[in-house]
Structure 1
């Protein structure tokens, strides 16, 4: 029998190691023999352990497995449709010896044998009871086993004993729940009995998802607490009665408890029934190993050399003033590659951090390099700096736009805007240059037109000469008839027109042969931001090939146009020669050449007619140029307001929502920039400037009208405004038309309130949530004392709940001196920092030292020399953090728990 139990113990623990089991409940029926034997004859017997587990490493792992006694009894209460007896489990703390449990609990329980007196629940009495049943009913088996099958006890008797001082806070009651409590009727005849039993339980034993959800009472907590006394978590085990089922629960529904493998660790599921226990196949923590910092090793003369492990959930660093809390966080941030200042405006502090990390190391959970990876690090005061009232819209953009870029549609929208800004301003400058060229051409044409003389005067002179020629012809004996004379006049006009066309064509040919026209592609450059170098090489090659092809095509087509113009010149000259050789033209020329007066008059007439033609042609060209100039100015205004239109399109698109926080965009007129430009260039006291100084934006159409009016008044023949002496009209006009006076601003709302209307503390909390909630990254989060940026109400009611939610998806490491964050947010790991001093000694008297542990770790051992090891984590929290005891009390009473 002894050898068989040795085999059982060996298989039990080796299988536990194989399945990575950290805690085992040893269940005994009405006794504690199994637990007692394993504890006293094996785990507390080094020689025996060495025999069963000769490998020292395995033996040490076995000894770390936490075992606890679970005594199962049968109640004399029957519930359910089949009136089944209730199996009642009492889990005891391992701090109680088996002897105390046996003598002060089991032997004080009583059971009723037949209709006789109550008997103590001892092995002897159970055996006697079994013997009586066997003799009366003929049951087979040992008397003890028969007795066990028939013994029942009352829950009242159990509770009376457990509530004595000997067991206070050292037991848990649970019952198996085989039915879905969310689906059963609570109005049956056994309602009172069933309710009474479930009220007594600390937790239920079930893997039924419906029951687990019902027990947590997510939407009716207060009502459930009133009816059943507290919120009940659910636990589950393999309930193995044979080796092959050992540590293999049905349907692989493993019970995962997030706590130290101790009795107090198990107690945590009562305080955090939703967060600390989970029944499922896979490990509840779904974070990727490459996104979790596993540990940090600080190596420096000021520090006790140690590797500080980190939890994948919430890690809080606490300690007294100047104990090295922020130093540790800063070292972790710097080792991850953060270049942010650890302490604002304190270069000496940052240099100290750099000195520490030069020999220190950080390890990621995946065990791979590189050490430096992305994190979200918020140094002390970083968040309040964003929230402070003196921060402008540019800082708001720095906060919001990186978050927008994580959404593809907004990223594309911002890229389109950036490309538009960079190209559109250049387009406006080019367009304004074109306007200036057209305006200058208009001036030159007007000067040329003025140089030709008065149109009315030339018309009068032509009329006078024509009369003189007419009178002279009437006196001539040898003359042309009327038809020949008309033909000759038409021929002269045609020759004058053709000569003008030749002159114009030659001028066009000359201009088209300018290098600036022929080499137009030589200055074309390509500038693309954000494209990788290797891709840019390919893009450059492709662009050069297109430019080369286009340049050749351009020259070819340009030469074709020049060839066509030369052909027109040749045709025109041929036409002139043809006219001059015509018999009528030759006769008329010969006839009028003999008459000197006629020749002079005819020459004068031709000259004046030429001037008139120039005036008419130049006037038409001027009219066309004026129209082009006006159109160019209108295009400038139209293109200028495209700033508004493009920005408005983007604003209308932006609508990001995450829970109760939303981000929207709106377009605003940058009146301060507009007024700054006006005040820089325009005299403020001049009455003719009042209209431009008094402008206030209302809508796009009135703005467009205003800009056009200002540009017209600036650029008309005589400027309608009074400018400062150092200012030129072109400088003002170009800056005005190329400047974007509109700005995209972002509105942040939290629970219906605009960020601008919030207190600084609430702003900071909302900004923290923005930075984390709207980011798709799951990098570790490092925060230094967030409570410095927030008010107390925000800390407890909002930040704490937020941290509880966020730590499930991202590793969080934060420095804090607020117990509500440590305890209220249920930190998975607490790191206690200490600076060496009198009564605060560190190992090796090093200046800084750290110790880590779970919230539930509790002990007092003042024999230890080092302060960090004199107390458990709970005691350190209560000692270091003001209000620590209250924080634990609030946590432990929130579900109305009582022993």
Structure 2
């Protein structure tokens, strides 16, 4: 059974002569009709226009139809020589293609009533033409059209086409008489025989100047390329791809859609759409024959689902969406139950039918079931589903102040991968900045804690001035006892004791530096190992082996840093009593040995001098005390120096926090700048439709967080503008004033003037006050100077749809349920239909609709008819399935009268008849479409 996907590209050759053509140009020699037909089938031609001059016999037509054996559709093409001539002096040829349902005999009877040109008693009949000679007869173009219009309906029963250039073409020079003739053939032809060189001319308005009058023909016309075969070798050397069913009704579609349905090229037209991103078919599985078991096939372009009320249209669309949605719990697939206020699936068929399943297969033959394991990825995650009333709900007054609309607009802007990457990088940078800021604040408080300890340590060391005075007093006492020393001995003694004190200070500083380095090792060891873990993960995640090797080499500095840090540890080993063990062969060992050696030498030199003092032990104690006091002073000075350095570092870190907040705010400004070109895309296409991005701050949410940790009685927050309860989220504000308030709040929390709850630390409060997550990018849509937040629901829905139309970049299918809801007919005609016609070239579209104009004028390639048994008296005994579907093309015509005995409503008529019966205004929509190209 041949798969039906509606209108698809097929190879058509509408001007091909058979071996039975009655002309001196017949070069088929002895080729039989059977072999002629085999050649056509071998060349994969789906439709031919069987052509002969002035008449086609029933024998010729029947033999060719029989030989093609339903493998190729045959349209009779009568080729005439007009009495009009072109500027080359050749008679203009014109072709009339007839609907085969008329029958050859009826066609011959009609054209037999038309007189041959310049003959009063000779008619367009086989006998008369043979008598006069086929190469010498002509016929009046308008006369034969008038006769055919009397007997038949133009377009419905016959179609006129004429070559524009080449032999028999109607193109002429610019003389008024000839222009009038060209205009006539242009007006009266339904499409043009030619090639791509004529395509642009007939795709635009043609202007004919006749004296003072100007006539404009504004009907686009299809250009059809044909082989005009007169020999076996010519068959299919030229042809045209036509997107239609291989029927006369299919041929009619190129009159209404002359550009979209016709392609002149060698290879079969293929869209740039990926087969992996398009749905080929779906299959229901259910119990008790609830749903049809037959696959339902989809076209790669526009698929429209129509049907009566509760016929299963939305069910079909929803199940496709849920099967492919990346997150099957996405809110777009849910509704909120008014009874229990819980989110539920729009259509959960498995509740009543545990056996229910739904399978969707893409054009690569890869399928996916609606029942898929948790965490299993969708094979088509880029699908866009817009449920019924979704757009109007987004802009409904009750939701105007919610985040849904803002997020929706932002997500539309992010559909372009380039801008999605910009936004993701922006969010990632914000997250990194948050962590950096928290770490900076934490580090600031670590510095503050170090300062507190230093102040405490300084207090334990005693008063610096008192220690200096004590040293001076002790030195005075020693000086009093120096009277027993000679001047030379006194100088030597002073030099030795001074050097001794300095060495003791150096030794103390050396051990102090050793401890600082040990502490540094402890703090860096964890950080370096974390960095190493990140490096390992990066290298393992790199895909290309040469890149992996290159960066493994480049990042060895991390391992080297860890090794170097370990070498620091070896210098700073502590024993069980937490005393440093100074190891050999390092700078500390060398320096300590030198100092100890010199101290020993000094002790030996001081010993004989100390013995000269009257009270030797007292003097030694004085010397020791002086040395210790000088070490204290050195330690105090070191602590003061460290305190100064820590204070400066803490201040720098604090300043950095606020500088980072400024830079963080600039990220938002830069984001708006980065998205300008994305937004300009809309402005260029529709200057009245604008998207504007602004940066706001969610003051109400921010205030809630601040109040949560602030002391309830003192209400310190009331002193600051940024915590004012009158501030709104969408309020203009001065960033510099915001920053000033932040700094003041920081200072007052730190010094205790801002009261906090007992369970909140100063550090935690400052981290929360400096949180930047309350900034947000807000996108507003303006149409004709009216913002979307102030529009009526219907107008806002249309505007949002227009934005979605113009910004949508993902290449997966678009699924829309009744997009015409809340739109007036003019909006549907002017906006929606044009969108569908353009977008279906880029993406597969599947939509449910009740609007006939969408079905017909958007030229849907595939129409799916949905039906629920028992909805009308006509189908109670029809399909065995409760829900059944059938699909086909607009050109599928099968009048009810043909199938009066068919019980199944879906099979009882063609797609066109279903449309006219089901969709309100369906008949009128077809009429308007045909009138647009009427003659």
Q: TM-score range by the shorter chain?
A: 0.7 to 0.9
Alignment of 1:708-857 (within 5 A): 708-715=743-750, 718-737=751-770, 739-745=772-778, 760-761=793-794, 764=797, 777-788=810-821, 792-837=825-870, 838-841=873-876, 843-857=878-892
Encode CA deviations 1:61-118: one digit per residue, 9 max, x unaligned. Answer: x2253322222222222232x23222232222223232322223323434323xxx45
CA distance in 2, matches of 1:420, 1:2: 78
Whether 1:407 aligns to 2:428 is no
Whether 1:633 aligns to 2:620 is no
The answer to whether the 8 Å contact 1:665/1:744 transfers is yes
- 2:576 corresponds in structure 1 to none
The answer to whether the 8 Å contact 1:697/1:703 transfers is no
Alignment of 1:578-597 (within 5 A): 578-582=601-605, 586-587=608-609, 590-591=612-613, 593=615
Whether 1:503 aligns to 2:508 is yes
The answer to whether the 8 Å contact 1:79/1:85 transfers is yes
Alignment of 1:273-288 (within 5 A): 273-286=258-271, 287-288=273-274
Whether 1:17 aligns to 2:41 is yes
CA distance in 2, matches of 1:693, 1:150: 99
Q: C-alpha displacement at 1:291, in angstroms? A: 4.2
Query: Is the alpha carbon distance of 1:568 and 1:692 closer, same or farther for their aligned partners in structure 2, counting shifts above 3 Å?
Result: farther
Q: C-alpha displacement at 1:822, in angstroms? A: 0.8
Query: Is the alpha carbon distance of 1:452 and 1:332 closer, same or farther for their aligned partners in structure 2, counting shifts above 3 Å?
Result: closer
- 2:708 corresponds in structure 1 to 680
CA distance in 2, matches of 1:687, 1:857: 73
Q: C-alpha displacement at 1:798, in angstroms? A: 1.7
Compute the TM-score of the two structures, normalised by the length of structure 1: 0.81
Alignment of 1:433-512 (within 5 A): 433-452=442-461, 454=463, 469=477, 473=480, 478-480=483-485, 485=490, 488-489=493-494, 491-510=496-515, 512=517
Query: Is the alpha carbon distance of 1:731 and 1:40 closer, same or farther for their aligned partners in structure 2, counting shifts above 3 Å?
Result: closer
- 2:79 corresponds in structure 1 to 72
Whether 1:568 aligns to 2:591 is yes
Encode CA deviations 1:767-825: one digit per residue, 9 max, x unaligned. Answer: 66766765665333333323337554443222211111121232222221222221121
- 2:317 corresponds in structure 1 to 329
- 1:234 corresponds in structure 2 to 223
Whether 1:111 aligns to 2:146 is no
The answer to whether the 8 Å contact 1:182/1:214 transfers is no
- 2:148 corresponds in structure 1 to 162
Q: C-alpha displacement at 1:645, in angstroms? A: 4.2
- 1:93 corresponds in structure 2 to 99
Structure 1, unaligned runs of 5 or more: 44-48, 53-58, 131-145
Structure 2, unaligned runs of 5 or more: 1-18, 22-27, 336-342, 370-377, 573-581
The answer to whether the 8 Å contact 1:268/1:856 transfers is yes
CA distance in 2, matches of 1:804, 1:261: 22
The answer to whether the 8 Å contact 1:842/1:867 transfers is no
Q: C-alpha displacement at 1:319, in angstroms? A: 0.3
Whether 1:29 aligns to 2:16 is no
- 1:349 corresponds in structure 2 to 347
From 901, 910, 935, give the equivalent of 1:872: 910
Encode CA deviations 1:400-450: one digit per residue, 9 max, x unaligned. Answer: 469748535x56545544554454444433333332232122222223434
Q: C-alpha displacement at 1:316, in angstroms? A: 0.7
Moved more, 528-537 or 239-248: 528-537
Query: Is the alpha carbon distance of 1:686 and 1:6 closer, same or farther for their aligned partners in structure 2, counting shifts above 3 Å?
Result: same
CA distance in 2, matches of 1:511, 1:487: 36
SS in 1 for 2:767: helix
The answer to whether the 8 Å contact 1:182/1:210 transfers is no
Aligned length: 845
Alignment of 1:119-134 (within 5 A): 119-128=122-131, 130=132
Query: Is the alpha carbon distance of 1:688 and 1:573 closer, same or farther for their aligned partners in structure 2, counting shifts above 3 Å?
Result: farther
The answer to whether the 8 Å contact 1:689/1:721 transfers is no
Query: Is the alpha carbon distance of 1:497 and 1:624 closer, same or farther for their aligned partners in structure 2, counting shifts above 3 Å?
Result: farther
Q: C-alpha displacement at 1:320, in angstroms? A: 0.7
CA distance in 2, matches of 1:420, 1:517: 26
| Higher helix fraction (1 or 2) | 1
- 1:318 corresponds in structure 2 to 306
Encode CA deviations 1:811-866: one digit per residue, 9 max, x unaligned. Answer: 22222122222112111111111111122336344211122222133322344322
Query: Is the alpha carbon distance of 1:446 and 1:550 closer, same or farther for their aligned partners in structure 2, counting shifts above 3 Å?
Result: closer
The answer to whether the 8 Å contact 1:760/1:790 transfers is no
- 2:723 corresponds in structure 1 to 693
SS in 2 for 1:111: coil
Moved more, 808-817 or 796-805: 808-817
Q: C-alpha displacement at 1:868, in angstroms? A: 1.9
Encode CA deviations 1:673-713: one digit per residue, 9 max, x unaligned. Answer: 54344333345744883355359986666655554444333
SS in 1 for 2:100: coil
Query: Is the alpha carbon distance of 1:557 and 1:752 closer, same or farther for their aligned partners in structure 2, counting shifts above 3 Å?
Result: farther
Larger Rg: 1
SS in 2 for 1:89: strand
Query: Is the alpha carbon distance of 1:186 and 1:724 closer, same or farther for their aligned partners in structure 2, counting shifts above 3 Å?
Result: farther
CA distance in 1, matches of 2:366, 2:359: 13
Q: C-alpha displacement at 1:870, in angstroms? A: 3.1
The answer to whether the 8 Å contact 2:532/2:558 transfers is no
Query: Is the alpha carbon distance of 1:443 and 1:210 closer, same or farther for their aligned partners in structure 2, counting shifts above 3 Å?
Result: same
Query: Is the alpha carbon distance of 1:724 and 1:518 closer, same or farther for their aligned partners in structure 2, counting shifts above 3 Å?
Result: closer
Query: Is the alpha carbon distance of 1:555 and 1:162 closer, same or farther for their aligned partners in structure 2, counting shifts above 3 Å?
Result: same
CA distance in 2, matches of 1:805, 1:595: 107
SS in 2 for 1:151: coil
Q: C-alpha displacement at 1:195, in angstroms? A: 1.6
SS in 2 for 1:20: coil
Q: C-alpha displacement at 1:318, in angstroms? A: 0.3
SS in 1 for 2:41: helix
- 2:280 corresponds in structure 1 to 294
SS in 2 for 1:24: strand
From 248, 260, 267, give the equivalent of 2:252: 267
CA distance in 1, matches of 2:267, 2:214: 31
SS in 2 for 1:843: coil
SS in 2 for 1:239: coil
CA distance in 1, matches of 2:512, 2:20: 121
SS in 1 for 2:241: strand
CA distance in 2, matches of 1:567, 1:183: 106
The answer to whether the 8 Å contact 2:115/2:121 transfers is no
Query: Is the alpha carbon distance of 1:848 and 1:650 closer, same or farther for their aligned partners in structure 2, counting shifts above 3 Å?
Result: same
Q: C-alpha displacement at 1:245, in angstroms? A: 1.0
The answer to whether the 8 Å contact 2:276/2:364 transfers is yes
The answer to whether the 8 Å contact 1:842/1:849 transfers is no
The answer to whether the 8 Å contact 2:50/2:61 transfers is no
SS in 2 for 1:788: coil
- 2:926 corresponds in structure 1 to 888
The answer to whether the 8 Å contact 1:343/1:350 transfers is no
